[in-house]
Amino acid sequence: MEAEGPERRCSSFCSTQHEINRLEASPELEQLRASQDFRRVGNFAPRMKLFFALLLGCAIAVSAAPINVDDFPEEKLDFPIAAGPFEPMWDSINKNYGDWPAWFNDSKFGIWIHFGPQAAGRSGDWYAARLYISTNAAYTNHLQNYGHPSEVGYKDVLHQWRLPKWQPEKWMKAFHDAGARYVLIMGVHHDNFDLWDSKHQPWNSVNIGPKRDMLGEWKRAAQKHHMRFGVSFHHEYTWWWYQPAFGADETGPFAGKPYDGNLTKADGKGKWWEGYDPAQLYTIRLAGYPEYEPLHAIAHGRQGIFYKHLDYARAYATQWALRIQDAIEKYDPDFIYTDGNSTQPFSGKRSGSGYKCDAGARLVAHYYNRTLARRGTVDTFSVIKFHQGTRGIARTYEGAFPRDINTNQLWFGENAVGDWFYRPGFVYDPGMVIRALLEYMARGGNYTVCISLTPDGDLDEGSQHLLREVGAWMKINGEGIYGSRAWKIIGEGEMVSNPSRPNDPPRLKTPPGRGGMGQAHADFKFSEQDFRFTVGKNGALYVWCMTLPQSDAELTIKSLGTDAKLFERDIKSVQLLGSDAKLKWQRTAEGLKIQYPRDAKLQMAVGFKIE
């Protein structure tokens, strides 16, 4: 039998109680209810109101028109926000936000502390949802490590999670020694588990599992090492992301036995989670949307409004914002970060599917007004990953490099060594981190890299070795990184075409573009003809050879030749960072030719200071 589509057909002329209930909840009827004429009818004729609903339902069936997200009105929420000049509209935020904070450009390099209980699954990213997908490796790992998700689900992983090796101050020192000058600390991931003493979410790290205020401890460690910090929030799309938790195995000995997402608060009586409502962790089952299935993947190629759950959606979006406000109030972060692949939270599109409201703008306005009241100035910023065109809103590039220099908006590149959560078998190559750093610096951005902690809160030896090597490189080359800006061009070297986009012009060869760096990134090779450029805070030009040159190799930087007309001043000196060797160099029409010295003991990539 064909599944009912978004047109919501009327059966038997809409005469059954099922159809009446369904139409009573339809968004079209809600719009009719809002009209003045309908309210007058409602005052004296409830049955007439129902009659109108039935007629409307038949009209819907005839029109067979699915909901158009662009035409769906954006709801205005009413959760309280701090008073101040920033109003809950993007235009007001754009108008009132001043200059981007200088401290962020000065910092340039940061560590992503993307750590939480999903590391316990040893399955990489998205473990809390994938453990409920029987074809996924996370499901198999969960069976081996915990049990079947109908009996031992993610809530039980939270209960068992402990941190005997977590040393936030020690790890923060390791991050600082690696050259990082800010950290981005995860406050809550898609798993909906707040990593602080949350006022609005009882499923948090103080109540359950390690019973520690993780965000507070990370903040104190960052401040001890004079590092700025941001907090990330990934719980906007938890409601569709968690839908596999409401399923069951289709085959095997547990076939048809519901996963623990189906449990209720009453089911917890006499158990460790008595008093906790699973619906506050897993959200609710979003049934009745065949046009969006599989719902847990709606962000990838589909979009829509969960029109049968609009009351829940409003409460859900409100709680999303209240939890972030709570963290802002308790920890006063230097920036906040909201995850997603849409242009704003709750946009109705991609990761923002399900609801359309002004929660994002309202939250950002609150954050800036609160910052102004506390600090006397707004030296903070907000990250909405794919938002453009609003001052005060930064964006990111996850595992990708902008084609061009971008100085119109504050931004940073982000990726992970291995994956966003721990799993065995990571490749710890410091060179791939340095190459990514230089690609982002040359385009005018910052770089924030995730170093995943183990489930028990440790930094394994591979991670510590990588951090030490990156730190040694930064001590030598930091003058061309911290406070730097892009030059006139990104760089020069081998140009490549994209086979999937044959009409695009060739672009500079770059490392593989994925969020998790692995063996392919470690094996990636540049040549002695590949260079990137930055301008240091001191005004000097820095040229970065993207590989380690051979002794006595002659390097030719074509962009600095007199014919290129890019560097118009005379070159007075050329210095190799980290070396006292007096270089042999010559500027010609063809380029700046430098003979690489024999005794240089440098690693991974080398920088030349040009004055």
> Is 253 among the domain residues?
yes
Please tell me the least confidently modeled range out of 16-30, 512-526, 584-598.
16-30
3-state secondary structure of 189: coil
Residues 197 and 244 in one domain: yes
Residue 402's alpha-carbon distances to 240, 292, 441, 504, 520, in angstroms, are: 30, 31, 11, 14, 20
Whole-angstrom Cα distance, residue 528 to residue 558?
Answer: 12
Q: Hey, what are 187's tokens? A: 């406050």
Q: Are residues 31 and 120 both part of a single domain? A: no
Whether residue 308 sits in one domain with residue 174 = yes
d(CA 437, CA 110): 10
Q: Do 190 and 256 have their domain in common?
A: yes
Structure tokens at 348: 């109705």
Mean pLDDT in residue range 303-319: 97
Q: Which helix (H) or strand (E) holds 375?
A: helix 359-375
Q: How confident is the model at residue 46 (pLDDT cuts 50, 70, 90)?
A: very low
- Please indicate, yes or no, whether residues 458 and 558 belong to a single structural domain of this protein: no
| Whether the predicted pLDDT of 51 surpasses 80 | no
Same domain (yes/no): 52, 158: no
Choosing from 63, 81, 102, the residue where a domain stops is 63
> Is 4 inside any structural domain?
no
Q: Angle 27-34/46-63 helices, nearest 10 degrees?
A: 130
Q: Please indicate, yes or no, if residue 81 is contained in any of the structural domains.
A: no
Which CATH number do you get for residue 421?
3.20.20.80
C-alpha span between 454 and 421 (Å, rounded)? 8
Distances from the Cα of 5 to the Cα of 9, 32, 240, 494, angstroms: 8, 22, 19, 51
Tokens of 560: 């600095």
- The tens digit of pLDDT for each residue in 171-213 reads 999 999 999 999 999 999 999 999 999 999 999 999 999 999 9
pLDDT of residue 66: 56
**Going by C-beta distance under 8 Å and a sequence separation of 6 or more, which residues neighbour residue 73?**
356
Same domain, 392 and 539: no
Q: Quote the number of domains for the chain.
A: 3
Q: pLDDT digits over 455-485, tens only? A: 999 999 999 999 999 999 999 999 999 999 9
Are 472 and 563 part of one and the same domain? no
What CATH number has the domain bearing residue 569?
2.60.40.1180
Check whether residue 41 and residue 188 sit in a common domain.
Answer: no
| Block residue for tokens 């560097």 | 567
523 in any annotated domain = no
Asked if the structure places residue 297 within a domain, the reply is yes
Q: Is residue 520 part of a domain?
A: no
Name the β-bridge partners of 347: 356
Q: What's the rounded Cα separation, in Å, for the pair 149 and 143?
A: 8
Same domain? For 475 and 592 the reply is: no
Q: pLDDT at position 514, please? A: 79
Domain hosting 212: range is 90-480
Whether the ω angle into residue 290 lies within 30 degrees of 0, i.e. cis, is no
Domain-located, residue 516: no
Average pLDDT, the chain: 90
The rounded percent of the chain whose pLDDT value lies above 90 is: 87
What tens digit of pLDDT does each residue of 53-93 get? 333 333 333 333 458 899 999 999 999 999 999 999 999 99
Claim to verify: residue 51 and residue 102 sit in the same structural domain: no
- At residue 562, the pLDDT reads 97
Last-in-domain residue among 63, 81, 106? 63
Strands (E), 239-357: 335-338
The mean per-residue pLDDT over the stretch 533-540 comes to: 98
| Residue 65, C-beta contacts closer than 8 angstroms, at least 6 positions apart | 7
Is 511 inside a domain boundary? Answer: no
CA distance 88 to 100: 20
Distance CA(528)–CA(541), nearest Å, equals 19
User: Within this chain, do residues 469 and 593 fall inside the same structural domain, yes or no?
Assistant: no
Q: What is the pTM of this model?
A: 0.89
* 529: Cα separation from own chain's centroid: 34
Q: How many residues belong to the chain? A: 611
**Residues 81-131 pLDDT 10s:** 999 999 999 999 999 999 999 999 999 999 999 999 999 999 999 999 999
Residue 399 has pLDDT above 60, yes or no: yes
What single DSSP character describes residue 393?
E
